[in-house]
Amino acid sequence: MGDDVDYFGLGLFFLITLITEILGTIGGFGSSFIFVPVAQFFFTMQIVLALTGTLHVFSNISKIILFRKTIDWKIVMGLGVSSVILCIVGAYLTTVLDFSYAKTTLGVFLILLSSFLLIRPSFRLNSGIGVQIAGGGLAGFLAGFIGTGGAIRGLVLASFNLERNLFVGTSAAIDFGVDVSRTIIYLDNNYMSMEMLVYLPILLAASFAGSYFGKLLLQRMQPEFFKKLVLWLALAMGVALLF
């Protein structure tokens, strides 16, 4: 690396990514719920989408390895197919629509969903196949279009009353297919320039470290505090993105 490398900026990016990965693992919403709005203040929407997709590919690989014994593959199939199909649709729309739509949609989505879940923390959906397909499809579409849909998938998974480790492992397995498909579309449309490749090892290291520490904390602490923390942060980011 040359003398013009911004080591402070890279270090700050690693720290932010690590914290969002830990919070995402514990809170059950996925790191993108915080990473996407935070990254909006540093990069363009195109770069944010590419970085988020890549981060989640690494993150889900690490979670699948760490939680490989706690994955419900029946649920993965129920939610995963519609998630991947609608994710591809959402990711494709980013190539033909103005990115101001995606940013505005992201801000509104974060405000509405985080406010609702803070007001109704005990809200649960039923676990029927229709809810699985619809919820998985909506989560996938939002992931492709605005970069984050894990909170919707979390609501659907919560309807199964899964044990915490089973919840994280199953969610990661579903998310893996979603993130691989959208990241391919982002990269194929040159959302990430060659200069951004320096961030890839940072994303890899932060995703594995964040998932590991998140799993340790998940085994030792009640996750309700972290869920509320993630929701309040998301609400603040949504307001900041709009105004």
Measured CA to CA in angstroms, residue 1 lies from 4, 8, 101 at distances of 8, 14, 37
Q: In this structure, is residue 144 part of a structural domain? A: yes
Residue-wise pLDDT for 97-149, tens only, equals 877 777 788 788 888 888 888 888 777 777 778 888 898 899 899 889 888 88
Q: What is the pLDDT of residue 149?
A: 82
Q: What is the pLDDT of residue 4?
A: 60
Q: Whole-model pTM above 0.75?
A: yes
Percent pLDDT > 90 in the chain is 20
Q: Which domain holds residue 93?
A: 7-242
- Token pair belonging to 140: 């996938």
Q: In this structure, is residue 2 part of a structural domain? A: no
pLDDT top residue among 177 and 230: 177
Task: Give the pLDDT band (50/70/90) at residue 38.
Answer: confident
Q: Is the pLDDT at 202 greater than 60, yes or no?
A: yes
Mean pLDDT of the chain: 84
Q: In this structure, is residue 1 part of a structural domain? A: no
Residue-wise pLDDT for 2-32, tens only, equals 456 677 888 888 999 999 888 877 766 677 8
Task: Give the pLDDT band (50/70/90) at residue 156.
Answer: confident
Measured CA to CA in angstroms, residue 86 lies from 13, 54, 82, 89 at distances of 30, 18, 6, 5
Calpha distance 37→15 (Å, rounded): 15
Number of H helices, E strands in the chain: 10, 0
**Which stretch of 42-56, 164-178, 204-218, 225-239 has the lowest confidence by average pLDDT?**
225-239
pLDDT top residue among 114 and 241: 114
Q: In this structure, is residue 46 part of a structural domain? A: yes
Contacts of 68 (CB under 8 A, 6+ apart): 169
Report which DSSP code applies to 149.
-
Q: In this structure, is residue 130 part of a structural domain? A: yes
Calpha distance 222→33 (Å, rounded): 20
Query: Which of 180, 173, 179, 176 minimizes the C-alpha distance to 157?
Result: 173
Q: What is the pLDDT of residue 183?
A: 93
Task: Give the pLDDT band (50/70/90) at residue 184.
Answer: very high
Task: Give the pLDDT band (50/70/90) at residue 181.
Answer: very high
Q: In this structure, is residue 90 part of a structural domain? A: yes
The residue with tokens 């629509």 is: 97
CB 48 within 8 A of CB 39: yes
Query: Which of 158, 174, 241, 56 minimizes the C-alpha distance to 233?
Result: 241
Report which DSSP code applies to 199.
G
**Helix, strand, coil proportions of the chain in percent (round to 5)?**
80, 0, 20
Q: In this structure, is residue 35 part of a structural domain? A: yes
- The total number of structural domains that make up the chain: 1
Contacts of 2 (CB under 8 A, 6+ apart): none
Q: In this structure, is residue 188 part of a structural domain? A: yes
